[in-house]
Structure 1
Amino acid sequence: MKKIIKVDDVKKQFNGWYALRGVTTNFEAGKVYGFLGNNGAGKTTLTKLIFQNFDYDGGNVTLNDKELKDVDYSEWFYFSESADLPVDTQVKEYIGRCYDYAQRPGKEYKTKVDKVMKIINIKKWWNKKIKSLSAGQKKMVVLFLCLLLRPKIVFFDEPTANVDINNKELILKTIKTLKSEDTIVVVITHLIEEVEDILDHIVIMSDGLIKYDEPLESGQSVTELFEKYAVDNSTQSERIKEYIEHVK
């Protein structure tokens, strides 16, 4: 059975402010989702809820109808921004620790590392601490780990930011390969034009709500969809007007 994450009417508030105001969507295996929205739209909040970084205040999230508290996260992977990495840890220590945490067979570790090293050669960084690497190099370390683990659910957070053209192509090829292995692939990004060609489905959030959730049709412009649905211009205008009239 293909994996499917179901998000049903999920709400989350912080100090009385709703970051998520009843979000419903699905993420299915074998597709690449573009999860889009401006800063503060609710993308990060929803992602953290799915990864159980904190609880939601209403609604439900399931994987194949199983509650998140009962889900085995060893096959999940969050392709993070480099700022999330343990900077005082050596690259080899970080990769080994994540491999153990994902409960992969220890006897296969060296063989798998050698195979991935032929695709992404990070030998010269192997003994270095993560804090000594550039943003692009850190991203390659995370990609190395992703290929090593071959997860079944992956959320890519700004995967093509701060990398050169060759490494960008490598990241995009990795995403397409994971899709072919019936993996749930979600790409969270502002760099829409860089990933547009690999997306199958677009989910756009604004102001804590899903404003667009449809398959990407041939010839559709993701940039145009983003401009149309990611910002509620009428709401912005009302807020600006209210501020000017009432704030001295």
Structure 2
Amino acid sequence: MEIKVTNLTKKIKNKKILIDVNAIFKPGKHYGLLGNNGVGKTTLLKCIFNEYDYESGTITFDNQKMNEKNLSQIYYFPDNNDLQKHLSIYNLLRTQYLFNKQTLKGFEKKLNEENIYFLQKNLKKTLISSLSSGQQKLVSLLACKILNPKIIFFDEPTANLDLSNKQMIIDEIKKIANSDKTIIIITHLVEEFSNFFNEIIIIDQGTVKFQGPAKPNVKQQFLEAINYKGEVYE
């Protein structure tokens, strides 16, 4: 299952956020979609998930135009701000499962099998708004495991977390990656997953500066691609 973005241009309020973007995500590979804040990474993601219209270009799934059936095989691990805070953990997971599968058959069984993060909580009574940032990311991770998609986009999965929660998320993502899924991690925290990527795609000022194999020093590769001239701190 391959996602291909070709010559994609997206404007927001007459400003070009993405400019002739080309990228390809092939089955079973682990990608880093890298760039500083505000360069268009999340905008590209929202175009892929049909949340945004775009001015020109194409997005295809196995050489066919992306549609709702394709989206059921893809999961978006969001920033915490995208979660519906007024819902309970249970209702959020149930809603996502129903939307994705068009049925609730198997939901309770999958939830019981995969829930290792909230065994001490009443899922039906615990609201998303009551959870810490790390716990909210674990809700998204649990949803991902229940839905079992083929392709997963992780949007800034470790941002705003303390060290222990950050390492837990990284370890869980690596476990999921061992199941032959296509993983795309959207991040500006280049070094945290540097040994995880097969390929990297670097976006700067709305354009793709590089797509290709990840080198051992991904941070240096990133800085060279965006033509960074400042001082580098280790």
| TM-score, scaled to structure 1 | 0.84
Aligned to 2:71: 73
CA distance in 2 between partners of 1:16 and 1:109 (Å):
43
Do the aligned residues in 2 keep the contact of 1:36 with 1:230 (CA within 8 Å)?
A: no
Aligned to 1:237: none
How do 1:1-248 residues align onto structure 2 when only pairs under 5 Å count?
3-69=1-67, 71-103=69-101, 106-117=104-115, 119-124=116-121, 126=123, 127-217=125-215, 220-230=216-226
Aligned to 1:239: none
> By how many angstroms is 1:104 displaced?
6.8
**3-state SS of paired residue (1:212):** strand
CA distance in 2 between partners of 1:77 and 1:143 (Å):
10
CA distance in 2 between partners of 1:231 and 1:124 (Å):
48
CA distance in 2 between partners of 1:109 and 1:123 (Å):
20
> By how many angstroms is 1:14 displaced?
2.5
**CA shift in 2, pair 1:15/1:223, >3 Å:** same
The amino acid of 1:230's aligned partner reads I
Do the aligned residues in 1 keep the contact of 2:93 with 2:143 (CA within 8 Å)?
A: yes
CA distance in 2 between partners of 1:142 and 1:125 (Å):
17
**3-state SS of paired residue (1:48):** helix
The amino acid of 1:31's aligned partner reads K
Do the aligned residues in 2 keep the contact of 1:7 with 1:60 (CA within 8 Å)?
A: yes
CA distance in 2 between partners of 1:146 and 1:190 (Å):
22
> By how many angstroms is 1:47 displaced?
0.8
**CA shift in 2, pair 1:207/1:143, >3 Å:** same
CA distance in 2 between partners of 1:182 and 1:4 (Å):
14
Do the aligned residues in 2 keep the contact of 1:160 with 1:168 (CA within 8 Å)?
A: yes
CA distance in 1 between partners of 2:145 and 2:114 (Å):
7
> By how many angstroms is 1:75 displaced?
1.8
List runs of 5+ in structure 2 lacking aligned partners.
none
List runs of 5+ in structure 1 lacking aligned partners.
235-248
Tell me how many residue pairs correspond in the alignment. 229
CA distance in 1 between partners of 2:164 and 2:228 (Å):
36
Map Cα deviations across residues 126-180 of structure 1 (whole Å, 9 max, x no partner).
Answer: 2211111111111111111111111111110111234455544443343334334
| TM-score, scaled to structure 2 | 0.89
When Rg is computed on C-alpha atoms for both structures, the one with the higher figure is 1
Map Cα deviations across residues 21-70 of structure 1 (whole Å, 9 max, x no partner).
Answer: 11111011211111011122111111110001111111111010110136
Aligned to 1:238: none
Deviates more, 1:97-106 or 1:17-26: 97-106
Aligned to 1:243: none
**CA shift in 2, pair 1:157/1:96, >3 Å:** same
> By how many angstroms is 1:114 displaced?
1.5
CA distance in 2 between partners of 1:59 and 1:69 (Å):
15
Deviates more, 1:52-61 or 1:181-190: 181-190
Map Cα deviations across residues 224-244 of structure 1 (whole Å, 9 max, x no partner).
Answer: 12222235669xxxxxxxxxx
**CA shift in 2, pair 1:134/1:227, >3 Å:** same
The amino acid of 1:82's aligned partner reads N
CA distance in 1 between partners of 2:75 and 2:119 (Å):
20
CA distance in 2 between partners of 1:27 and 1:110 (Å):
32
